Amino acid sequence: MIFDTHAHYDDEAFDEDRAELLASMKENGVVHIVNVGASIATTQNTLKLVKEYPFMYGAVGVHPSETAELNDEWLKWLKSVATSERIVAVGEIGLDYYWDEPDRDIQKKWFIEQLKLAHEVKMPVIIHSREAASDTYEIMKEYEAEKLGGIVHCFSYSVEMAKQFLDMGFYLGIGGVLTFKNAKKLREVVEYMPMDRLVLETDCPYLSPEPNRGKRNSSLNLGYVADAVAAIKGISRDEVERITFENALQVYKINL
């Protein structure tokens, strides 16, 4: 039983076969998926997908690289849709200094506004943070993200940073990168972190694991990531699936 905690099935990479692909999830052991908004348009798409597919949940939010489009009106709209049925988180929100656009001040402003929104609606957050570890951490501290809880998605930092986010009560999202040859740092993080804070994610269509690296990703590939976690932790793949499934329900406050 696999729970994909972070996917983008509204992406145009799925336009040709979205319905068939999503219809094949259950028979392949993928029981639930959270589709994550990354802009106003993709949040609108997420709301539609969640309505159409009862096994899917959604997150509403604007990714740091898309924050130039935000204004007070759209923020109000995000708040109004955050309480829709099967919407379980605010995200993905955060800071991205890799692409480094728009200006960091704009990214920070809307990261903070969306954290405040999460407090208002009392929902967990999905954090996107790339090459911005300390600013992300400081803003989360200042705006009491430990009271919200959530996931640091596609975790890419060191063991030291992992400890700080774990101490704040956050879960770490682990995906295809774990299977890459050069992922030594991430393997160390997985070795270090407790199993009860690990959630599986694809970030599909991106970040396909080995042996499918470079191809379009989907939740059907999450078994490879579960295998990689199992090997590092010295437990069975079934255990990994069972524990991470429970973790996903816990972090998103889903009562089945």
Task: Give the residues lining the site for Ni ion (CB under 5 A).
Answer: 203
Asked if 58 and 86 touch (Cβ cutoff 8 Å), the reply is yes
Nearer to Ni ion, 96 or 203 (CB): 203
Query: What are phi and psi for residue 17, nearest 5 degrees?
Result: -140, 25
Nearer to Ni ion, 66 or 203 (CB): 203
**Rounded Cα–Cα distance for residues 25 and 148 (Å):** 30
Q: How far is CA 172 from the centre of its chain?
A: 9
Nearer to Ni ion, 33 or 232 (CB): 33
Rounded to the nearest whole angstrom, what is the least distance from the CB of residue 169 to Ni ion in the complex? 21
Rounded to the nearest whole angstrom, what is the least distance from the CB of residue 233 to Ni ion in the complex? 25
Rounded to the nearest whole angstrom, what is the least distance from the CB of residue 18 to Ni ion in the complex? 17
Nearer to Ni ion, 108 or 128 (CB): 128
- Angle, helix 184-192 to helix 159-167, in steps of 10 degrees: 40
Asked if 247 and 230 touch (Cβ cutoff 8 Å), the reply is no
Nearer to Ni ion, 10 or 203 (CB): 203
Tokens of 5: 């905690």
Rounded to the nearest whole angstrom, what is the least distance from the CB of residue 153 to Ni ion in the complex? 6
**Rounded Cα–Cα distance for residues 117 and 50 (Å):** 21
Rounded to the nearest whole angstrom, what is the least distance from the CB of residue 38 to Ni ion in the complex? 6
C-beta nearest to Ni ion: residue: 203
Query: What are phi and psi for residue 98, nearest 5 degrees?
Result: -75, -55
